Structure 1
Amino acid sequence: MNPLFEMKDVSYHYPKTASGVRGISFRLFPGETIGVAGESGSGKSTLVKLALGLLPADEGSITLKDISILAAGRKEKLRFRRQTQAVLQHDVRSFIPVKNIIHTLLEPVHNFPERGRALTNGNDRQFAEEWMTRVGLEPDMLDRRPEALSGGQQQRVHIARALSINPSFLLLDEPTSNLDTVSQAAVLHLLQHETAHPERGVLCISHDLAVLHQLADRILVMKDGRIVDDFYKSETWNQNRHPYTKLLVQAGGWNGLEDQGKTV
């Protein structure tokens, strides 16, 4: 099987600083969710920008199917955008303050009208209401302004918005950060059930290894701009895990690698 998304020997260095990423390589296959863990400053945010084509890598290659993201022309960039969606960290900027929620939810559908018409069958309102129901929100919330929704409700709208266009590649950047415990659990449950698709690849970024353990099939751990560990989640408590991975496990409140491994 060919990978859906691939980074190969990717490096990026911010001007006048030593930060960035170095030698990043991984493959994401259709139907797979890869989690990327690491503390602040580990390089996760840079990886997100590179994966979305927002930064030009200094070295290496980044591909989505047959699209070389770093060498893409206008048509290829449009194809990439059509197949890619992201749920970004507490991204209130994607809401239009003077517009109702329905405008935000339908934005991807309207950005790609040919694909949008095929999905909505010409009935935008019904399509939006169906997605609100799928993410556990009342359809009449479509007529509210963003500030009338809680943080958890806003994040559900972001998820509906991203999935509505049926993307091949979905990027989740800290999807549960800044949410209270109840909202976090609800959003995790939603993501577990709504993002899985045999033809979709999901890349989920989080500082919280416990979140990734619920969502991902495989986990990459980043430190100082490099991937220092790569494992399937069933291998999280193996004794040969990288020392930094063990620190993240302990920071997550799990009581010991050996004991916790027996309960999973």
Structure 2
Amino acid sequence: MIVVIVILGILLAIMVPQLIKYIDKAKAVQCRADVSYIMKEYQIEALEKDPGNAEAACALLESIVLEHNGKLKKKGEIFNGGIYSDVCTSKGLYTCTFDSTYKTVTVTCGEHDEGQIEVKKLADVLNNMDFTNIPGCPHPNLNEYFKGPRTSIDSEAISVDGYGDYGSFAKVIEAKLKEQGINTDGRSWRMYKKGDTYNLFLTDSQKITLNMDTQKVACTQYDITNNKVIHGTITVSKDKQGVEYYPILLGESFVPDKE
């Protein structure tokens, strides 16, 4: 009897990890199938109903996700689609991003896709930005802009020349972000170049002004270097271009919320 029990214990020790791996793999396969179905269903429905704006697109997507037993967890922090739960059986969250026409949606799972989805997508967008089609823009990409002494760029920065109708390089960046479903309207930001990547500080729901100098505001840090999204507060300060001042976010003053 003791020998039989020992043998059974050995067999279980061998089989259980393999069974867990099999179950996890099956969940991942089902998750990716659900993601594919949701994206295809949305594309078919969007061609027929032509949502035309983010609000209508979100409503259409939510109705489709509901059919897959999912529900809206929260609106996207900066991406124009929502974040949904209860579809993935591994408790992964689905982050959704529409293209500029709202005819297609990209859905990624926080459990079965690599890393922190919002940070990974933002990193991909920033690293692949191409400004060569912008009239009057002297920088073909972000990497070229940050060559030399530059270490940051601010949403409220004042430009002295170039950039065509956009008026500033910050506005060029915002337009390119919007093309990729990343919306910064009504919010201020500061982007730092850090090694080969970029870190972004983005206010929650307001534009900063010079009158807010030294004030603390709610802010989210997209820490691409460490693959994290961190909420906290940041201090407003000011910088100078020529004789004009403009407000900035002091990245070094960022304080994460207490958990």
Please say whether Structure 1 and Structure 2 have the same fold, judged by a TM-score greater than 0.5: no
Rg (Cα) greater in structure: 2
Could you say which structure has the higher strand fraction?
A: 2
Q: Which has the higher contact order (CA 8 A, sep 6+)?
A: 1
**TM-score w.r.t. structure 2 length?**
0.26
**TM-score w.r.t. structure 1 length?**
0.26
